[in-house]
Amino acid sequence: MSVPVLVPAVGESISSGVLSAWHKKDGDHVSVGELLFTLDTDKVSSEVTALEAGVLKITVAEGTEVPIGSAVGEIDTAAKAVGKAEGEKLKVETVEKKPSAPAFTQQSNSPTAQQPAAAAPSQQSKSPIVQQPAAKPEGRVTRRKLTPLRRKIALQLVNAQQTAAILTTFNEVDMSAVMSLRKEVQEAFQAKHGVKLGFMSFFIKAVVEALQAVPQINAQLEGDELIENHYFDIGVAVGTEKGLMVPVLRDCEKLSLAGLEKELLGFAVKAREGKIGLSDLQGGCFTISNGGVYGSLLSTPILNPPQSGILGMHKIQDRPVAIDGKVVIRPMMYLALSYDHRVVDGKEAVTFLIKIKEALENPVRLFLD
C-alpha cells in the first residue's frame, strides 16, 4: 500500500511553499516521525516528518514551488519490514560476490574495483583517489528564483515605503553606564539566571518606558481609524540565512531583564535551527533593529507595517564628546527612529528618543524594575 506524502497546512494565509530540501533519498527506508523535507513559505520554514513507515518514493524535486495539500512523494508501507539491518546485509552479500566477476570489462572505468582482494593493493597504489574540485559558477551571472520569504520581504518593504509617510529622527546615547553596569553584575546575573545580560534587554525596557510616555507611537492606522495599543509586544529584527525575521516578545512591560534575555535566547536558538513558527512572528506594536552587530554606524530603518515606529540601534564607537566643558572619549551609539508621520508628529518622535536616551544613560532604574 502506498501512502502519499502531502504538503501540510502551515498557516491560514499560506497557500504554497518551496520544497527547499529533501532530508531522505529516493528509495530510503523511513520510520514514523523521521524528518522528510523542509518547506519554505513566505513567513516561516517548516520541517515535515513521516506519518507512516516504509520506503520513500520522491516525485517532486528540491526547489519546486508546491501548493499546500499537494503530494510530493509516497511511502510504500508494504516495504516497511525491510529495515536498516536487512539493507546492510544485502550490501555485504553483493560486495562478497563481486570478485567472481571478470576483472576487466569494457564498461568499467576502474578495473581495480572489480579485481580480487589480493591484486587490489598494487593496483590501488597506482590509482590514487583524486578529489574533484568544488564546482564553480558558470558564466557571468547566476539566475535563480526568489524564495517565498524573500518575495514577502520585498513586497512588505515596498509596501511600507509606498503607503506610509516615513520620516527618521536621530539622537545619540552614551553607553558608559550600561557597559559599566553589565560588567559589574554580569557574573552574579549569569549565576542566578543562567543567561548573560546583553544590551538588547536594556533597549527593550527603555522602549517600553518611552512608549508608555509617548503613547502615540504605540498607535497604528487602520483605514480611517487610529488604533492605540495598550500592550507592549516588541519585535526584534534578526537576520537569518533565509532572510530577515522579526520574532515578537510578548508583554514586555511584565518581564524583567532576565526574563527578556531568556526570551531572546529562545528565539536565537529557534532562528539558528530554522524553527521559528508563524505564531512567533505575528502581532507586535513596535520593532527594534540592531544594525550595529554588523558594524553599521548609522541607518534609516524601514517601518514594519502596520506599526508606526521602529528603532535602529548601531555600532558602539569611542568618540570625543563635550562633558562639563571638557572633551572626553565615551562609547557612543547613534539611535534612529523611523516613524509614520501620518500618526506621529515630530515633537513626539523627538521626545520618544530622548526618553530612551535618558533611560539608557541611567540604567540602574531599569535594572531594579
DSSP per position, 201-270:
HHHHHHHHHHHHH-GGGGEEEETTEEEE--S--EEEEEEETTEEE--EE--GGG--HHHHHHHHHHHHHH
Query: Which region holds residue 234: left if phi is over 0, alpha if psi is between -120 and 50, else beta?
Result: beta
Tally: H helices and E strands in the chain:
9, 18
Q: Name which of 130-134, 308-312, 315-319 the model is least confident about.
A: 130-134
Q: Three-state DSSP class for 95?
A: helix
Residue of higher predicted confidence among 156 and 87: 156
* Cα 146 from Cα 369, distance rounded (Å): 45
The predicted pLDDT at position 136 comes to 67
Give the closest residue to 55 by CA, choosing from 36, 37, 82.
82
Overall average pLDDT of the 137-144 stretch = 83
pLDDT greater than 90 at residue 39: no
* Residue 57: band (very low, low, confident or very high) from pLDDT cuts 50, 70, 90: very high
Q: For 4-17, how does the pLDDT look when each residue is reduced to its tens digit (9 = 90+)?
A: 999 998 776 678 88
Q: For 232-253, how does the pLDDT look when each residue is reduced to its tens digit (9 = 90+)?
A: 999 998 877 767 789 999 999 9
- C-alpha torsion 173→176→178→181, nearest 10: -170
Q: Three-state DSSP class for 8?
A: coil
Overall average pLDDT of the 27-33 stretch = 92
- The residues annotated with a catalytic role in the active site are 341, 345
Domains and CATH numbers, the chain: 2-79 (2.40.50.100), 148-368 (3.30.559.10)
Please count the residues of the chain.
369
* Cα 185 from Cα 188, distance rounded (Å): 6
* Cα 153 from Cα 244, distance rounded (Å): 8
What is the number of other CB atoms lying within 10 angstroms of the CB of residue 118?
Answer: 8
* Residue 122: band (very low, low, confident or very high) from pLDDT cuts 50, 70, 90: very low
* Residue 1: band (very low, low, confident or very high) from pLDDT cuts 50, 70, 90: confident
Residue % of the chain over a pLDDT of 90? 58
Cell (9 digits) for 59: 516525485
* Residue 148: band (very low, low, confident or very high) from pLDDT cuts 50, 70, 90: confident
- DSSP classification of residue 148: H
Which own/partner pairs from 151-158 qualify as long-range (CB within 8 Å, at least 24 positions apart)?
151/42, 152/42, 152/43, 153/243, 153/244, 156/304, 156/305, 157/302
Give the closest residue to 314 by CA, choosing from 295, 327, 330, 328.
295
What's the mean pLDDT when you consider all of the chain?
84
* Cα 162 from Cα 36, distance rounded (Å): 41
Cell (9 digits) for 190: 549569569
Burial of residue 286, with CB atoms counted within 10 A of its CB: 0-12 exposed, 13-18 middle, 19 or more buried: buried
Which own/partner pairs from 187-192 qualify as long-range (CB within 8 Å, at least 24 positions apart)?
189/258, 192/258
Whole-prediction pTM: 0.69
Please give the backbone phi and psi of residue 236, each rounded to the nearest 5 degrees, phi first: -120, 110
The predicted pLDDT at position 71 comes to 93
The predicted pLDDT at position 108 comes to 37
pLDDT greater than 80 at residue 194: yes
The predicted pLDDT at position 13 comes to 66
Q: Name which of 50-54, 168-172, 352-356 the model is least confident about.
A: 50-54
Overall average pLDDT of the 175-196 stretch = 96
